[in-house]
Amino acid sequence: MFTSGMSPAKTRGRPFTVIVEGNIGSGKTTFLNHFNRNAEVCVLAEPIELWRNCKGQNLLALMYEDIKRWSFTFQSYVQLTMLEQHTRKTSCPIKLMERSIYSARYCFVEKMLQDGLIHGASAAVIDQQFQWIRSYADVDVDLIVYLRTTPEVVYERMMQRNRAEEKSVSFEYLKALHDIHEDWLFHKTLYDLPAQVVVLDANLDKEGIIDEYRKCEPHILDKIMTNVKA
């Protein structure tokens, strides 16, 4: 399903850029793997390994252990690494990214602000950096794919995959993140949309979700020849 947003950014001179958004456990990695089979698509997974090893420091684990203490440090580094993803050069006509600088600011920093887990001054610094990046760096995107799930489904998936850093993540946290994603990408009442949104039902199992992914193929793969000609 399409929801309206800003007009797609110009694609001449850079790849057609798609950001894949959704809650923890919504199936973003599976979605990226579906399109990674195409040599014309540059797939950039969320840079989790960088967050786990910033000169030997596991910032992801530290953040989950003590969010209030490490929120500014972690989100500052997330913003930096996502900026690198947005601006990374590729010869492929299409770039497919797992999350973005937008969800880092609009969903995760927003959640920390709502919970009082990041000081207002720290959030202001991150936001000033974010606004500067939007003004002076090429972080335009052309399409947003929202993998829409229920909090119950993603909580069950998170428990099953059993990542060490996620053991402290509660259902309440996932529910709050779900609400923020809904307000931003579905109801469009929170912040702006940098591109049009395709909403997919990501509650489906692995067999059913493939058909849902295929609905996105024309919106993504049809841009290959367009960008090559451009």
Enzyme catalytic residues: 98
Full DSSP string of 32-86:
HHHHTT-TTEEEE---HHHHH-BTTB-HHHHHHH-HHHHHHHHHHHHHHHHHHHH
CA-nearest of 227, 171, 228 to 16 is 227
CA-nearest of 127, 74, 136 to 105 is 127
Residue 40 structure tokens: 């014309």
